[in-house]
Amino acid sequence: MTGGMAVWDCPDFLDLPERDQKPRRVGLTHVLDKGITPPALEALLTQAGDFIDVLKIGWGIAYVDPAVKERVALCNAAGVLVSLGGTLLEVCAAQGRVDELRHWAAGIGVGAIEVSDGLQAMTLDQKTGLVRSLANDFTVFAETGAKDGHAPVVTEKWLAEMEADLAAGASWVIAEGRESGTVGLYHDDGSVRAELVDAIAARLPLDRVIFEAPRKAQQTWLIRRLGAGVNVGNVPLDEVLPLETLRLGLRADTAVTGQVTLR
């Protein structure tokens, strides 16, 4: 299961779902970084780097973090793709500074950029234009959904936007949930908009979609509905191993047991 790791302390006596090794296109774990310190990040990557596919430095954190260059380098060395948050790009777009962002991001080694319209200040054409342009130099994650919980969530509009983003060159589309798990895919109490998830799963290839799901109950719902290989986003940094156990049926929420057989 965890081929890249030292096998001597990885047990292998249970029958568990198969997990692809990195780099993979399904079963992605996309984590949300709010500015973890470099030593803590290094320790996490050493321990659990094989379980982390993408580290998104949330919103504009990268812009203010004096350690950002060091942190990006740690991720790159561990084979973890670093993405900037979409809000930073949106602010740059509003100020006419997208070129400056591209140049700076490339300079510090960032490999991916999220293109979003969480502030609802762009047309779809402007957004797909950004996707197309940035995809020349970066892996692009294109996000759909507003940051404001009061914004209407219209399924058909989401699907059309996701298809347009993929057509424009996005590697993955991301379905919005925020750090809180209370907007976009979720009602304000955190419960899942099941019909929206089902519509996305019916229309789009699941290896091109990442569902933001910061809460355990949301991750559990997705794994039960779409399988252990669902791509999960905005995972808190201290929930990487817990999510892995949810995928593998090693936590009560997803464990499947028949009659117990003792021997």
In whole angstroms, how close is the CB of 172 to a copy of itself at the nearest point?
Answer: 21
Q: Does 261 bind a copy of itself (CB under 8 A)?
A: yes
Closer residue to a copy of itself in complex, CB, 26/240: 240
Of residues 9-28, which lie at the interface with a copy of itself (CB under 8 A)? Answer: 9-11, 13-15
Distance CA 171, CA 111 (A): 12
If binding is defined by CB under 8 A, does position 63 make contact with a copy of itself?
Answer: yes
Adjacent-strand bridge partners of 115: 142
CB 184 within 8 Å of CB 177: yes
Q: In angstroms, what is the minimal distance from the CB of 205 to a copy of itself?
A: 28
Cβ–Cβ < 8 Å for 211, 175: yes
77 near a copy of itself (CB under 8 A): no
Q: Which two tokens stand for residue 205?
A: 């290839």
Question: Which residue from 17, 60, 79, 190 is in contact with a copy of itself, where contact means CB under 8 A?
Answer: 60
Site for a copy of itself in 190-219 (CB under 8 A): none
Question: Least distance in Å: CB of 31 to a copy of itself?
Answer: 13
Residue 120's H or E segment, with its range, is none
Instruction: Return the residue matching tokens 């430095």.
Output: 57
Is residue 234 within 8 A of residue 32, CB to CB? The reply is yes
Q: Does the protein bind a copy of itself through residue 165 (CB under 8 A)?
A: no
By rule CB under 8 A, what string of x and - marks binding of each residue 105-144 to a copy of itself?
A: ---x---------xx-xx---x--xx--------------
Distance CA 207, CA 13 (A): 29
| Residue 186 bridge partners (DSSP) | 192
Q: Is 69 in the site for a copy of itself (CB under 8 A)?
A: yes
Range in contact with a copy of itself (rule: CB under 8 A) among 91-99, 158-166, 199-207, 223-231: 91-99
With beta carbons less than 8 A apart as the criterion, state whether 113 and 83 touch.
yes
> Is cis: bond before 23, omega within 30 of 0?
yes
